[in-house]
Amino acid sequence: MTPSVHTTEKKYRDLLGELRSMKKALVAFSGGVDSTFLLHAARQALDENVLAVSIATPYIPVPEIEDARSVAQAMNVRHLVVEVPFPEPLRANPPDRCYLCKLSLFTLLQDVAAREKIAHVLDGTNLDDLDDYRPGLRALGELGVKSPLLTSGLTKQDIRDLSKAHGLATWDKPAAACLLSRIPHGTRIEETELRRIDQAERFLKDLGFAAVRLRSHGDLARIEVPREWVGEVIEADRRHGIDARLKELGYRHVTVDLAGYRLGSLNVNAA
């Protein structure tokens, strides 16, 4: 066993130990790489004393909720999906929207936990998240939400490696983010615009572009894919009519970003 593998396994043992000490826990479950791994570990550590809760808002892509249902069912974990209307404080898409969102949604999760007599609400923050622009982390700290992946020192790569070793299908799933991240800060959000973005991204993913963002700038659609895929987008347009389909959705101009796919490219502090 190499030192790196040994260290990763040690982190996993520490994670299981921390989870066992909780006796019972609620996992904020998106169905992504991190929360799926956390739910898997919680299931191992706590058996049936774990509850997965997914929050469905108008700015969460529908396929993400469907994936969460499937994963929780496969793990044989009790799973609740809570439907939440659009939070009005987010309507103007302010720079601190992630803080406001986390504060609202995790307060709701704490209410669910209280009704279920669960003392601990967990989220999937990992060590690498500290290097990114994550205003939502402040809300988690204020609410006392626990982040066991973080406290165990697990990085994103650790989580992908362990997920693969444990047979989790999400081990190589691309990073996901809410649909608000596709719209520039300060732009008023309408549910119709969120649905348009969701439809456009589903179309692109159906063409095989798993890692894709459709940044929406009014009547301009800016497609972000990894730079090595830019040529493939042009070819896919020739064969499948990407430009025509997005114009059917209401865009007047359709572009491909030559800088490529970047997480948080619309963040106020992005380069």
Distance, CA of 48 to CA of 33 (rounded, Å): 21
Say if domain 179-256 classifies as CATH 3.30.300: yes
Domain 3-172 has CATH 3.40.50.620: yes
Tens of pLDDT, residue by residue over 139-150, are 899 999 999 999
Task: State yes or no: pLDDT of 244 exceeds 80.
Answer: yes
Cα–Cα distance for residue pair 237/255, rounded to 1 Å = 11
Reply yes or no on whether the pLDDT at 1 is more than 70.
Answer: no
Those residues with Cβ within 8 angstroms of residue 138's Cβ, 6 or more apart along the chain or in another chain: 99
For the chain, how long is the longest CA-to-CA vector?
Answer: 56
**53-62, 191-200, 259-268: least confidently modelled range:** 259-268
* 127: its two tokens: 């060590």
What pairing do the DSSP bridges indicate for beta strands 120-122 and 78-83? unpaired
CA atoms of 51 and 24, how far apart (whole Å) = 8
pLDDT per residue over 107-134, tens digit each? Answer: 999 999 999 999 999 999 999 888 766 7
C-alpha 154/C-alpha 99 separation (Å) is 23
More confident residue, 203 or 4: 203
Q: Where are the domains of the chain?
A: 3-172, 179-256
- pLDDT of 270 reads 41
What pTM value is reported for the model? 0.89
Average pLDDT over residues 39-51: 97
* Residue 186 burial by Cβ neighbours in a 10 Å radius (0-12, 13-18, 19+): exposed
Task: Provide the pLDDT for residue 22.
Answer: 97
Find, among 112, 90, 260, the residue nearest to 181 by Cα. Answer: 90
